[in-house]
Structures are given as C-alpha cells and as structure tokens.
Chain A
Amino acid sequence: MKNVYIHILVMAVVTYLVRVIPLIFFHGGIRSAFFRSFLHYVPYVTLSVMTFPAIITASGSYVCGVIGFAVAVIVSLVKGSLPLVAACCCLTVYISSLFI
C-alpha cells in the first residue's frame, strides 16, 4: 500500500485547485454553454457510477444488497431525506441478513 498521507496530500491539492481557480481567475462566471451543461450533469453520473453496483456488494451479501438498493430507490421516490433513506436501507439490509 502506498503512503496514505501522500494520497491525502494529492487529493487535497487537486481538490483545492478545482475550488480556487475560478475564484482567482473568473470574475464573470463560465460562458461556454457546453462546459456549463457538462458540469451540470457530472454529479449525477459520478454518484450513479459510484453507487451501482457497489451498493449491491458492499454488505457482503448480494441478496441483501439488492433488497437494500430497491428500498433506497423506493424511499427516495416516495420522498425521503438523506438520513431517512440511509436508515431504511441499512435497516432492511440488517433485517434481511438475519434471514439469509
């Protein structure tokens, strides 16, 4: 395993640069329609890619993972705050793991 603290330093420098460059150089916002659209869609892609299929495998049981994923989607659709969706998902994964 490479040095964790060097990894953290790399992360911190890159993330800070992403945050600070516009504050240093741009005073009128971003003009390019393509770039603005691209940046608008990025979070949805990244979060979706990170979540699926990781949520299925994270608990160690595929069946519990699929059930937890379904519950998270349903609660989010019905109207759920972040903590509520997370609590429902964890609880279902826990309960289903008792039976499987």
Chain B
Amino acid sequence: MGTGLSSYTRGIRDGLPIAIGYFAVSFSLGILMRNSGLDPLQGLVMSLVNNTSAGEAAAVGIIADGGSYLEMAINQAVINIRYFLMSAALCVHLDPGLSLGRRMLVGFDVTDEIFATLIGQKQPVSEYFAYGLASITIPGWAAGTVLGIVFGDILPADIVSALSVALYAMFIAVVIPPARKDGRILAIVLVSMLGSWLFTLEPIASYISEGVKIIILTLVISALAAVIWPLKEDEE
C-alpha cells in the first residue's frame, strides 16, 4: 500500500492546479445557475455528482425551461459523449488486471483535464493517482459552483450581468485556438454558431428548446464533419 499512498499524494499534488482552474470555471457556472434560480445546495449536489462544465451549463438551461427528464437524459448523453472516447482510450493506459469495481470507480471522474493528466503518466497508470486527482479536483469544482451561486446573490446586479458571460468566454477560449490552427475546426465552429443562431429565430424557437437544439446540431454537424473529414490514424 506504500506505493498506493505515494501515488495518491502525487495525484493530489498534480491535481491542485487543475482544481484552481476548475474553481474559476465552476464559479462562472454558479453565476448562471443562480440566474436560473438554482439554490446553493442544488448547485453543490449537481457539481459533486457530474463534474462537467458544458453538461451542467446545458442542464441548467433545461431545468429553467421546464424541460422533460427524457430531454435531459438525451441532452447529457450527447454533450458528454466525448467522455466515452476518453474512457475508451483510458482503458489501454490502466493496469489490465484492474478489477471491474476499481474500473468503475476510476470512471466516475473522467473529465477533459483529468483524462489529459492520466494519459500523460507512465503506463500502467496507478488507480490511486486517479483517486488523488479526483480527491482535490471534485471539491474545487463543487466549491466554485456554490460560491458562484452565493456571490451571484450578494454582488450588485450590474456586476452579476457582466459575470454572466464568463463561462461562455471560457468556451470560446477552448474552441478558438484549435480553430486558428485547423481549418476544419474553424469551419465546424462557424457552422455550429450559425446553426445555433438560426434555431433562435421564430418560428423554430417556439418548437425547439435549447436542450433539443444542442442534441440536433451536435449529432448532425459532428456526423457530417466525420464523413467529410475522417481522422487519420495518428490524429486525435
């Protein structure tokens, strides 16, 4: 267990900078939750059990719209489908002898940043390292969410309005740099934004909610892109 403990502490240490980054993102998410009427406890529970920025941001919109549970389920499956790819890739990096129960535990906290950190490790990746990462990043994510909701209530209205764009600005910071380097990504980003805008026009907007819009556009545009520009073996 000695190596288990040292891997765990290393996970906590490597997870700290991720946790700080998460705090900023989830604080912005908390502001959006507060604008949609969620209370701090609801935000805390949502962040503790989900650990996903885009998924939670979309969920907040669906809850505010009074969307159905089915819409929520399909929406979350589509938005978070990228984790499917990450978990599948992660399989190869874990100890092949890792029991089913332990695999299921590691699977609880697969996020973009955790995945990137795990696959950067020497194989096989220690499960305890993964638990260390989770132990520090999940509380960071949850704390930011709660404080975002609380401060959204305390701060003056004009400051809260300005903070409401923070999470979207972070999403832009995620998509723009790769779009600059890769014309395919740029085309995808532009088409997605255009499509998203078209869905807000009447009469479409009256029939299609935000949650359904994300489902339709994600499936259609990603599938078209995959047909037009299939990835080569070494691209990922």
Q: Which A residues have a C-beta under 8 Å from some C-beta of B? A: 1-2, 4-8, 10-12, 14-24, 26-30, 33-55, 58-61, 64-65, 68-69, 72-73, 75-77, 79-86, 88-91, 93-94, 97-98
Chain B, interface SS category: helix
What's the minimum C-beta distance from B141 to chain A, rounded to whole angstroms? 13
Which of B24, B76, B88, B188 makes the CB contact (< 8 A) with A22?
B88
What's the minimum C-beta distance from A38 to chain B, rounded to whole angstroms? 4
Residues in A neighbouring B208, C-beta threshold 8 A: none
Q: Does B195 contact A (CB under 8 A)?
A: yes
Query: Are B50 and A15 touching (Cβ within 8 A)?
Result: yes
A49-B196, A82-B170 given; A41·B226 CB < 8 A: yes
- Having A7-B72, A39-B85, A45-B221, one finds 17 other A-B pairs with CB under 8 Å, namely A4-B38, A5-B42, A8-B45, A12-B50, A14-B72, A15-B55, A19-B110, A20-B87, A20-B108, A23-B94, A27-B92, A34-B227, A46-B54, A50-B171, A86-B173, A94-B162, A97-B162
Q: Which B residues have a C-beta under 8 Å from some C-beta of A? A: 21, 24-25, 28, 32, 37-38, 42, 45-46, 49-50, 52, 54-59, 62-63, 66-69, 72-73, 76-92, 94, 96, 100, 103-104, 106-108, 110, 112, 158-159, 161-180, 185, 188-189, 192-193, 195-197, 200, 213-214, 217-218, 221-223, 225-227, 229-231, 235-236
Query: Are A86 and B175 touching (Cβ within 8 A)?
Result: no
Residues in A neighbouring B221, C-beta threshold 8 A: 41, 45
5 examples of A-B residue contacts, CB within 8 angstroms:
A1-B63, A18-B80, A26-B88, A39-B222, A88-B169
A28-B92, A39-B85 given; A11·B54 CB < 8 A: no
Closest 6 CB pairs of A and B: A48-B192, A89-B169, A20-B107, A94-B162, A76-B176, A22-B88
Query: Are A40 and B173 touching (Cβ within 8 A)?
Result: no
Cα–Cα, bound, A17→B77 (Å) = 9
Residues in A neighbouring B200, C-beta threshold 8 A: 53
Query: Are B84 and A58 touching (Cβ within 8 A)?
Result: no
Query: Are B195 and A49 touching (Cβ within 8 A)?
Result: yes
